[in-house]
Structure 1
Amino acid sequence: MLTKQQTVIDGQHQKPIFIDATFTSTKINQPIIIFCHGYKGFKDWGAWNLMANAFAEQGFYFLKFNFSHNGSTIEQPIDFPDLQAFGNNNYTKELDDLNSVINWVYNTTEIQLLADKNNIFLMGHSRGGGITLIKAEEDSRVKKLISLASVSDFKSRMTRLCDVNQWREAGVTFIENSRTKQQIPHYYQFYEDFIANQERFNIQRAAKNLNIPHLIMHGVADTSVSIKESENIHKWNTNSKFVSIENADHVFGTKHPWNHKELPPQLNTVIQETVNFLNE
């Protein structure tokens, strides 16, 4: 029987981190998957809850969480009422959030009664793919990595937001959230944080230095992040496994809200490929 538990932990940046875990309460030593959402994403987006159930049914302890500065709140976890938090988000904060989650998993006795802290796997979607790749390279507690439609270069995506000189002068730039129609801010600190940590945030460097098993998956029909970005990551990490998913877009056939009881076939393929990879 599947169990879902929600927890709030303290982050390192004055904002809480909202976590949920899906698992089988009658099993022990379940390997742990920690899932990281992407840009403008959140843990309950689309079919991610069905995905959590699918992994739990396969014997995994599946954790997903909202990054502390993704714009959501504990009270409104799927909306973006806290635009100030969103505007003050950066890659350092997301890596710190992920570290806080891993620490919490690693040091919580209640989890260890059911799950195996020595088998922690990271899974990241889109921007979360870049975050998990960097974290996996620098944290020996991570044993395997799964990248879903991952970005391969943070710098090019940042400079695409707007003219950097105009950004510096204005102190902020805005983009529209197509789902909520909000004008969401990106404060210039985002760029300053990147420049101050360019070496750490270099996905190519992290991929080349990664020494754990790595599964890379990308939809052939992805128009948000080109499949070439995952192909680049695969090229940089010669020990990785690359799987292209036919007829799959950036979110593998899902959308938000997802009002179906079944997974789309493209996301189901992702899950099966991941289960096979993790059980190798």
Structure 2
Amino acid sequence: MKQSGSVPSSENLPIYYDLYLPDMVESSSSLPLILFLHGFKGFKDWGAFPDACEALSSAGFAVLAINFSLNGVGQSMTNFDELDLFARETLSQDLDDVGAVIEALGKNDIEPPEPFSLRTDAMGIIGHSRGGHTAVAAAAEYPEIQCLVTWSAVADYNARWSNQMIEDWEKEGVTEIVNGRTGQIMPVKKVVYEDALDHADRLIAVKRVQELQIPALFIHSKDDEAVPAEEARKLFNHCPSDQKELQLMPDSGHTFDTSHPFEEKDFPPVFRQVLTYTRKWFQRFLQ
């Protein structure tokens, strides 16, 4: 079962969401809630993400997958048709978007149909890639988040800016990247770079992970071509929680052998194992 809608960001832009709920219900079902955050050049409907959220919900969770308000994907839900927003998607705004969603949940602005209710005092969070980076910061920022899982997470976004990107920003105020899947040329403005530098203590995952005492599971592919597995080790090593794990998966790339669009009947074996680890983690610490 899926319920869709949006809540306003701090700029009054829509944060689109899908709320996944179990099909099998009891007369009264108060569900633990898991937030799902997509990564850079990503969106909530990318590839296997919707099927993964549905699979997690079938284990007795409510799963709320969101599109960041500046991710560049509009009402189509799958096309980057708002590149003017994408160009200024800062880590600060992403983190604030998570806060806006948590606030909306607290005010019952996101409300499931009967007989469901949501347990919003102790949420879980999953983030993929840049979304994993933001999930770590959010887990440190918002006390409602009590359990963390990252998939292929970046540890330090300020270590990812290339010399060419920095040169472009200094000279032109904007750099351009290519979306390997769509071929689109996508602008990234200097404000994204400046925001990450100026607010590093609040935004950078490897800094914020040092504040976490909650259960934290870091999952990464050994051969991740986009974000090296060493980044997961760095997050794990800097996390002081007594309840933490690092799971390095067999070679399966940045998205664990999944791609967009995802039209297969079954999950790839490695991604299925990622989901199993994730589900068991949340069952252990949220249910």
Structure 1 length-normalised TM: 0.94
Contact (CA 8 Å) 1:13, 1:93: kept in 2 or not?
A: no
Q: Alpha-carbon deviation of 1:237? A: 1.0
Aligned partners of 2:38 and 2:127 also within 8 Å = yes
Find the residue that maps to 1:166 and give its secondary structure.
Answer: helix
Counterpart contact for 2:129–2:227, Cα < 8 Å: yes
| Aligned position for 1:69 | 70
| 2:213 is equivalent to residue 215 of structure 1 | no
Letter of the 2:226 partner, please give it. S
- State the AA in 1 paired with 2:211: N
Deviation at 1:246, TM superposition (A): 1.2
Q: Which runs of 5+ in 1 are unaligned?
A: none
Q: Percent identity?
A: 29
1:96-107 to 2 correspondences below 5 Å:
96-107=96-107
Partner letter of residue 182 of structure 1?
Q
Equivalent position of 1:224 in the other structure: 226
Shift of 1:197: 0.7
Q: Write the deviation string for residues 29-70 of structure 1: whole angstroms up to 9, x where unpaired.
A: 211110000000000001111101110111110110111111
CA contact (8 A) 2:211 2:240 kept: no
Aligned mates of 1:86, 1:234 — CA distance in 2: 30
The equivalent of 1:19 in structure 2 is: 17
Is 1:92 the equivalent of 2:101?
no
- Of residues 264, 268, 284, the one that matches 1:260 is 264
C-alpha deviation, 1:247, in angstroms? 2.9
1:222-276 deviations in Å (ceiling 9; x for gaps)? 1111000000111101432111111322101100011112111111111111121
Q: How does 1:1-280 map to 2 (within 5 A)?
A: 3-24=1-22, 26-27=25-26, 28-74=29-75, 76-108=76-108, 110-111=111-112, 113-157=116-160, 159-160=161-162, 162-239=164-241, 240-280=244-284
1:126–1:151: 8 Å Cα contact kept in structure 2?
yes
What are the superposed Cα offsets for residues 67-115 of structure 1, whole Å, 9 maximum, x if unpaired? 11111102x1111011101001111110111111111222217349422
Task: Give the alignment's TM-score, normalised by structure 2.
Answer: 0.92
Closer, same or farther in 2 for the Cα pair 1:161/1:7, shift >3 Å? farther
Deviation at 1:149, TM superposition (A): 0.6
Match of 2:4, SS state, is strand
SS in 1 for 2:175: strand
SS at match of 1:120: strand
Counterpart CA distance in 1 for 2:220 and 2:163 is 23
- Judging changes above 3 Å, is the alpha-carbon distance between structure 1 residues 37 and 161 closer, same or farther for their aligned structure 2 residues? farther
* Cα offsets for 1:140-171 (capped at 9, x unmatched): 110100011100011011x2272424312201
Number of aligned positions between the proteins: 276
Letter in 2 for 1:117: T
1:72 counterpart SS class: coil
Contact 1:152–1:230 (8 Å) recurs in 2:
yes
- Secondary structure of the residue aligned to 1:200 is helix
Q: Structure 2: 5+ residue runs without aligned partners?
A: none
User: Displacement of 1:213 after TM fit?
Assistant: 0.6
Q: Is the 8 A contact 1:105 1:111 kept in 2?
A: no
Task: Summarize the Cα distance change of 1:79–1:211 in structure 2 as closer, same or farther, 3 Å threshold.
Answer: same
The CA deviation at 1:138 is: 1.6
**SS of residue in 2 equivalent to 1:259:** coil
